[in-house]
Structures are given as C-alpha cells and as structure tokens.
Structure 1
C-alpha cells in the first residue's frame, strides 16, 4: 500500500531494477538509484491484478484505462495531508485549555533546592 498516493490504481515496474512499486516516490524511498526514464511502462492493475504495457510517447485519453477491466487508473491523486487540531473551544474565547496551572508559586524561595535557610542550615 502506497503512503504517497492513497488512491493508487496501478503499480509500476521500475525499468531500471525491474521491481514493482506503487509510485515513483516509493521507488525513491526503497532504492539507492534514480528511476530510469523510458517510453514503455509496465503497469499492474490493482483492480483485476493483470499486467499491461503502455507506450508513454503516444499516450492519449483512451490510454487512461486498464485494457482488461476498464479501471480508470489516471485519476487525481489523494495524498496524505497533515492535520493538527485541538479539541475544545476556541482558545481566543476560553484559554483554559492552554494555561498551565501546575506552576503556581514557582518562584517561592522556600520551595527551591538552591536557596533559603534550610540549605544553609544543612551545610553549616
């Protein structure tokens, strides 16, 4: 399963190493060499599991479909999107979620290990 293109409809066989990958980025992640460019690509349809070749130098709209099952494999890619969300109210209205109330009175000298009469008493 491809982590770069979530709705990949075909796998590609890399012409350089003849291994199967879901996309060119998957080849780049797994290989120590660049993907070799070629005019003829070998695909494996993920719907019918059959392999077919396409001439990329003479590629038109009718070539966007698997010749075995008519699966449309040239589609807009869905890629993972980073999303960060905060559960709760808007922080501009109620900042209770982002306040840290654990540090009240942090500058109290009696709570410090580096000062106060208690340290002088132990050393003296």
Structure 2
C-alpha cells in the first residue's frame, strides 16, 4: 500500500464496514442471542436450585467441587437451551423475529445517509 492509499476507504474495506448486516446475518445473531439468554437463565436456575440442597460434611468436596459443579452446570445449561419447540429461546426468537421482519432494511433503518460517488 502506498503512503497516500490509506485515505481511500475502498482500499481498506471501510465502505463495506458501514453497510448494515443482511437479514440472514441478523436472524443468525438473533437465534444465538436467544439461545445464549436461555442458557444463562437455565444456569441461574440450576445455581439457585443447588443452593437449596443441604450438603453433608462427609461428602462435600469444598471449593474444587463447587468449581466443577459450576462448570458442569454451565455446560448443562448450554445443552438444555433450545431443546424443544416450547423452549424459551424459540419463544423469544419467534417473538423478536416478527420485529426484525417489520424493521426496514438498509441505510434508512439506521438513519445513515448514503454517500454517492
């Protein structure tokens, strides 16, 4: 790249960087966000449920067991997210997808003024 070339947005890809994401990209992001939300929700629920269980000093493993249990609960919550047609993530996705479909696409949606060459 020459010394003056850094001023040209097309050479470094800035022109594409200001383009809004496609509808497909937005739906993928929405699905992931809904699934991640459900995973966090389930994790917090599992964490709260485990606090209600009384621990015996004979079998309780201390800090190591708590760390392992927390990691296992995180993985379990990720697996439990989006399991069936009535899952929280699918319900959220269906609700928010309707909003995504009604939102206008392009520069007008983001109040971005399109610059002509």
TM range (shorter): under 0.3
Q: What TM-score, normalized to structure 1? A: 0.23
Q: Which has the higher helix share?
A: 2
Greater fraction strand: 1
